[in-house]
Chains A and B, each alone.
Chain A
Amino acid sequence: MGLINIKNLTFEYFRRDEEGNLEEMIEALKGVSLDVNQGEFIAIVGRNGSGKSTLAKHINALLLPSEGEIIVDGLDTAEEEVRLSVRKTAGMIFQNPDNQIVANLVEEDVAFGPENMGVPTPDIWNRVDESLTTVEMQEYGAHSPNLLSGGQKQRVAIAGVLAMEPKCIIFDEATSMLDPQGREQILFAARQLQKEKKITIIFITHHMDEVVWADRVFVMDKGRIVTHGTPRQIFKQPWVLSRCGLQLPVLYQYIDFLVNNRIVSNDELENVYGEEELIALLCHKYRREHERNENIENRKRLSETQTEAHSATEGILLNHVSYVYGKGFAQESLGLKNVSLQIGKGEFVAVIGETGSGKSTLMQHLNGLLLPQEGEIYFEGKDITDKDFSLKMLRQRVGLVFQNPDNQLFAESVERDVCFGPENMNISRVEAQKRAYEAIGMVGLPDTIYDMSPFQLSGGQKRRVAIAGVLAMKPDYLVLDEPTSGLDPVSARELLELLKRLQVEAGMTVVMVSHKLEEVAEFADRVVVMKQGRKLLDGAVKDVLSQVGALEQAGLLVPVGIKMLYALHREGVDVDVQMIRQEDILEQLLKLRRL
């Protein structure tokens, strides 16, 4: 018998309207059966609303089955007296790093679980020390959790569960709010725990590239398990995945293509787990005799050629802008350092960099929410710090959409919320309404949404309403902070296509902040790479992407396809390294067939 046995689990709940009348019955889980063995690494994938988190909450006895049963380490979760033991056996890491830290000091938070279990004081200290050491956070014991990064906070949460000495840890979308570095840390920690402490891992995610290391993968959709198997077996059924709103990891999209076109064989792929191995395999197989000597990476100094400030009357111009947070206080932190940048009319500019690189600070300068402490900013030729410059006008012309739509949606209906911006500009209610309808249409939402409460919407819909709320002010420039974060791949792509449409069809200038090179490669015209408050690179997408070394130095993951082309090119294979769109890269890879 395994550690966790789930038999025919069904979970339903009722939605009631304001008077308490039954509105509908929602079946979140329908007849799910699943066995997990001690020491396994299980991944459960599915889009938002597929029921994967509901399933996770059952394993920890936070929810109880409507039908069917769950046995965790021999204990039936439905029995109330064993509930504490179940929670001790199967610990859980949640999505939001902030909302699961209880105490004001890291060590006290880790102690929270053992304290609840009634562990004697000296043992608590031992457990806390040991758990913090396991997640490599031992130096932070006496720190406040508030100053930690997202990845560090999640590691504290892991330590908090470890201190309860569980047999199994459930990661309930624990990586979805983290940057790539944080995500890497959590994945690494999960694998270490399984390998070294023999702890069973149940990893719930919608990022397919996180399941590569799992022993078994379960794909969920609409409350059911659609298919399961080893990652490789799953990756061989891309059609099933796309039906479930999921995407093959990019690496496996390439592998799929390479196998289908007989460029590599399944046998050769036996030991390929990551991109390094695949690139090594390709290079080994298709190496040409004479290696090239020309160094393609340093063709020109991009950051200098692009924007030597010429006084433009169009667009936004930043001239040697610096900004320090908390200037004059003990805890100063660098925002921007000597950044010069020009944003031309009608461009689609992507600003990328890791967390803390200054990209959000830069963005808030574009519409005057922050004013430069050093340097100048010109909007269409006018200095925005001039006394008679209207910041109100600037904020109308440069629409800024923040990352989290929950920070701005407040009205009782979508329509009223979208009207909020135009009404602040002293526009008549009728005109505001007209603009709101127009904006809601522009972001591709149906008119049935007008009267809905913004709080009822899905994540992707909320994001669109937030964008509509800014579009209704009729800006000429649209600036967005990480618009795709937290969205599943399908919604993310739809959103990017919408932005591209706004640029091409409505002539909007789009500036988008992201930490994913992959998603900007296809849509942006120009990329600005930030690192530690400075501008590192600035240029056309394909020029920036060619600087593989500099990008990696800035903490960015270079898309695997581009890495492949460069590696092959270095080995003397005649491929065009200028290609950045995935379909073009695939076409280049087809050349290997002729070799």
Chain B
Amino acid sequence: MLRNMTIGQFYNVDSVLHRIDPRVKLNIAFFYIVTLFLDKNPVLFVVAFFALAVQIWLSKVPVRFIFRGMKTISAFILLTGALNLVTVKGANVVWEWGIIRVTEAGVSAAVYTSLRLMMMMIASSMMTYTTSATSLTDGMEKMFGWMRGIGVPVHELAMIMSIAIRFVPVLVEELNRIMKAQMARGVDFREGNLFVRMKKLLPIVVPLFASAVKRSQELALAMDARGYHGGDGRTKMKPLKYRRRDIVAYLVLFLYVMVTVVVAIVL
């Protein structure tokens, strides 16, 4: 079940995109998504599609792997498309059946929205495929470091995120054990109506929470013992530094944004 969720996973190979600074990749994902919404223009979409293809090619992540990830959210995309198809009203009716009326505007809205959603998802998962969780949090910590000035505990938030990521597999394993222990006591999670099923979650959730609380207390103690005292005066084993390839990547991103803006204005 979880194995098919490839979105948000890290695909561990060595590629140019993997080596680029996480801050650059955060910016790429952000600006790429912004350009998708500049205009409804077929040329713009061709350019954007091309840019995505280049990213995929550079990342060395197999296309099959990316598609497997898209499969899990395809239902969501289809649904949004279908809703657009029937709700957006326009002049030229293409097809009509009872109260359902599909117009030309509806068709184009459906196509554009689904395309946008799909490209948005792929673009953001390209970032996660090529960036380990640790370097992603590092990147965010550094990128949003200025927000400390306005009272946002950036270092602490990044630390929390990184620890959360570290404990996901530990807790998934724990959840598995708890479910089995309760199944051995006769719980059948597949029977009963919604209310009954919700009630059956209690014997799972309580031990899971109790364990998570205990783990967090012990972890806090262990971090204390190793001299953790917040972000002040802390050095880094792997400090983030822009290199030549990152500058190049920024230039390419700048060019891409310029092109899309020109396309959106001129065409």
CB-CB nearest in chain A for B225: A92
Residues of A within 8 A of B134 (CB): 103-105, 108
Residues of A within 8 A of B219 (CB): 99-100, 102
Task: Give the docked Cα–Cα distance between A101 and B169 (Å).
Answer: 13
Task: Give the docked Cα–Cα distance between A285 and B150 (Å).
Answer: 81
Interface membership of chain A positions 39-65, coded 1 if the CB is closer than 8 angstroms to chain B and 0 otherwise: 000000000000000000100101000
Residues of B within 8 A of A364 (CB): 180
Contact B184 A367 (CB under 8 A): yes
Known contacts A102-B166, A105-B134, A407-B174; A473 and B226 CB within 8 A of each other: no
A481 to nearest B CB, angstroms? 10
Contact B223 A102 (CB under 8 A): yes
A window 151-181: CB within 8 A of B: 160-161, 164
Interface membership of chain B positions 173-205, coded 1 if the CB is closer than 8 angstroms to chain A and 0 otherwise: 010011011111111100000000000001100
- Asked if A246 lies at the interface with its beta carbon under 8 angstroms from chain B, I say no
A254 to nearest B CB, angstroms? 38
Among B174, B214, B227, residue most surrounded by chain A Cβ atoms (within 10 Å):
B227
Residues of A within 8 A of B211 (CB): 406-407
- Asked if A117 lies at the interface with its beta carbon under 8 angstroms from chain B, I say yes
A window 118-140: CB within 8 A of B: 118-121, 124-125, 128
Partner of A407, one of B181, B228, B229, B238: B181
Partner of B218, one of A88, A96, A128, A421: A96
Contact B225 A402 (CB under 8 A): no
Partner of B183, one of A116, A369, A399, A473: A369
Among B134, B210, B225, B233, residue most surrounded by chain A Cβ atoms (within 10 Å):
B225
- Asked if B244 lies at the interface with its beta carbon under 8 angstroms from chain A, I say no
Contact B169 A146 (CB under 8 A): yes
Contact B185 A420 (CB under 8 A): yes
Contact A409 B207 (CB under 8 A): yes
- Asked if A400 lies at the interface with its beta carbon under 8 angstroms from chain B, I say yes
Contact B180 A392 (CB under 8 A): no
Contact A115 B184 (CB under 8 A): no
Interface membership of chain B positions 41-72, coded 1 if the CB is closer than 8 angstroms to chain A and 0 otherwise: 00000000000000000000000000000000
- Asked if A113 lies at the interface with its beta carbon under 8 angstroms from chain B, I say yes
A window 339-386: CB within 8 A of B: 364, 367, 369
Known contacts A62-B225, A402-B181; A115 and B235 CB within 8 A of each other: yes
Residues of B within 8 A of A420 (CB): 185, 203
Contact A121 B236 (CB under 8 A): yes
Contact B235 A94 (CB under 8 A): no
Contact A120 B235 (CB under 8 A): yes
Task: Give the docked Cα–Cα distance between A558 and B207 (Å).
Answer: 37
Task: Give the docked Cα–Cα distance between A400 and B179 (Å).
Answer: 13
Among B182, B187, B239, residue most surrounded by chain A Cβ atoms (within 10 Å):
B182
A window 75-121: CB within 8 A of B: 84, 87-88, 91-92, 94, 96, 98-105, 107-108, 111-121
Known contacts A392-B188, A402-B180, A473-B185; A115 and B229 CB within 8 A of each other: no
The prevalent SS among residues of B at the interface is: helix
Contact B166 A103 (CB under 8 A): yes
Interface membership of chain A positions 404-425, coded 1 if the CB is closer than 8 angstroms to chain B and 0 otherwise: 1011111100000000110011
Task: Give the docked Cα–Cα distance between A128 and B181 (Å).
Answer: 40
Task: Give the docked Cα–Cα distance between A407 and B206 (Å).
Answer: 9
Residues of B within 8 A of A62 (CB): 221, 224-225
Partner of B226, one of A91, A125, A128: A91
Task: Give the docked Cα–Cα distance between A438 and B234 (Å).
Answer: 58
- Asked if B248 lies at the interface with its beta carbon under 8 angstroms from chain A, I say no
CB-CB nearest in chain A for B159: A102
Residues of A within 8 A of B183 (CB): 369, 395
Contact B186 A164 (CB under 8 A): no
CB-CB nearest in chain A for B230: A116
Residues of B within 8 A of A329 (CB): 3
CB-CB nearest in chain B for A125: B237
Partner of B222, one of A99, A115, A146: A99
Residues of A within 8 A of B181 (CB): 402, 407-408
Contact B165 A104 (CB under 8 A): yes
Residues of B within 8 A of A421 (CB): 185-186
Partner of A118, one of B169, B186, B218, B235: B235
Task: Give the docked Cα–Cα distance between A114 and B133 (Å).
Answer: 21
- Asked if A469 lies at the interface with its beta carbon under 8 angstroms from chain B, I say yes
- Asked if B261 lies at the interface with its beta carbon under 8 angstroms from chain A, I say no
- Asked if A455 lies at the interface with its beta carbon under 8 angstroms from chain B, I say yes
CB-CB nearest in chain B for A142: B12
Residues of B within 8 A of A57 (CB): 221
- Asked if A217 lies at the interface with its beta carbon under 8 angstroms from chain B, I say no
Residues of B within 8 A of A145 (CB): 166
Known contacts A98-B170, A104-B165; A121 and B237 CB within 8 A of each other: yes
- Asked if B162 lies at the interface with its beta carbon under 8 angstroms from chain A, I say yes
Known contacts A115-B234, A329-B3, A424-B185; A99 and B226 CB within 8 A of each other: no
B49 to nearest A CB, angstroms? 30
Residues of A within 8 A of B227 (CB): 84, 87-88, 113, 116-117, 164
Residues of A within 8 A of B188 (CB): 392, 424
- Asked if A193 lies at the interface with its beta carbon under 8 angstroms from chain B, I say no
- Asked if A10 lies at the interface with its beta carbon under 8 angstroms from chain B, I say no
Task: Give the docked Cα–Cα distance between A118 and B180 (Å).
Answer: 45
A422 to nearest B CB, angstroms? 8
Residues of A within 8 A of B111 (CB): none
CB-CB nearest in chain B for A127: B237
Known contacts A364-B180, A407-B177, A470-B184; A104 and B237 CB within 8 A of each other: no
Contact A99 B215 (CB under 8 A): yes
B176 to nearest A CB, angstroms? 10
- Asked if B87 lies at the interface with its beta carbon under 8 angstroms from chain A, I say no
Task: Give the docked Cα–Cα distance between A92 and B169 (Å).
Answer: 25
A324 to nearest B CB, angstroms? 15
Residues of A within 8 A of B9 (CB): none
CB-CB nearest in chain A for B203: A410
CB-CB nearest in chain A for B180: A369
Residues of B within 8 A of A5 (CB): none
Task: Give the docked Cα–Cα distance between A103 and B223 (Å).
Answer: 11
Contact B233 A118 (CB under 8 A): yes
Task: Give the docked Cα–Cα distance between A431 and B247 (Å).
Answer: 74
- Asked if B262 lies at the interface with its beta carbon under 8 angstroms from chain A, I say no
Contact A408 B235 (CB under 8 A): no
Partner of A455, one of B210, B215, B234: B210
Contact A470 B185 (CB under 8 A): yes
- Asked if A546 lies at the interface with its beta carbon under 8 angstroms from chain B, I say no
Contact A392 B166 (CB under 8 A): no
- Asked if A396 lies at the interface with its beta carbon under 8 angstroms from chain B, I say yes
Partner of B229, one of A98, A107, A116: A116
The 5 closest A-B pairs by CB, nearest first: A424-B186, A100-B222, A410-B206, A111-B237, A99-B218
Residue contacts A-B, CB under 8 angstroms, 28 given: A91-B225, A92-B222, A96-B218, A99-B215, A100-B222, A102-B162, A102-B222, A102-B223, A102-B226, A103-B166, A104-B162, A104-B166, A108-B134, A112-B228, A113-B226, A113-B227, A115-B236, A124-B235, A146-B169, A329-B3, A369-B184, A407-B177, A408-B178, A409-B207, A410-B206, A410-B210, A421-B186, A473-B186
- Assuming A104-B165, A107-B237, A121-B237, what are 13 further A-B pairs, CB within 8 angstroms? A88-B227, A99-B218, A99-B222, A100-B219, A103-B134, A113-B227, A117-B227, A118-B233, A121-B238, A369-B180, A402-B181, A408-B207, A410-B206
A interface list, Cβ under 8 A from B? 57, 60, 62, 84, 87-88, 91-92, 94, 96, 98-105, 107-108, 111-121, 124-125, 128, 145-146, 160-161, 164, 329, 364, 367, 369, 392, 395-396, 399-402, 404, 406-411, 420-421, 424-425, 455, 469-470, 473
B interface list, Cβ under 8 A from A? 3, 132-134, 162-163, 165-166, 169-170, 174, 177-178, 180-188, 202-203, 206-207, 210-211, 214-215, 218-219, 221-229, 233-239
